[in-house]
Amino acid sequence: MLRIDRAHYEAIIAHARRDHPDEACGLVAGPIGSDRPERFIPMLNAARSPTYYSFEDTEKLQVFREMDDRDEEPVVIYHSHTATEAYPSRTDISLASIPGAHYVLTSTRDPETAEFRSFRIVDGEVTEEPVEIL
């Protein structure tokens, strides 16, 4: 189960809406081994695409070094889908490389609603998990 505070939940949705029609992406870091998402880190979609996201290499390196310095890890890795449901695509599944992370997807296909779902993706296997907003 993903437990995430309302501020981070709303920040992810706001980021997705702000970057629409392109996909938004980022992560929420937390103390290593804690499974607690505590620090919201919106990132640039280097692909600038409505159907694909990619972290910009220099920014990604900087963010991961900063997490190392702070004894953090990515607890949530998020991105948006702009025209489809919030479910991992084949590409999303193939790129999922952090087994302990919660992969959050939000869909901006309907601007009036906020579809927000979380998944574990391990060895290509996708498992949806409940989300508790604190």
Number of domains the chain is built from: 1
How many percent of the chain have pLDDT more than 70? 100
C-beta separation of 98 from 36 below 8 A: no
Domain residues for the domain of 81 are: 2-133
Which of 125, 117, 124, 121 minimizes the C-alpha distance to 2?
A: 117
Convert the pLDDT of each residue in 20-49 to its tens digit: 999 999 999 999 999 999 999 999 999 999
Convert the pLDDT of each residue in 48-60 to its tens digit: 999 999 999 999 9
Alpha helices in the chain (DSSP H): 6-19, 57-69, 90-95
The mean of the pLDDT values for the chain is 97
CATH code (residue 85): 3.40.140.10
d(CA 131, CA 119): 9
C-beta separation of 128 from 116 below 8 A: no
38: DSSP letter: -
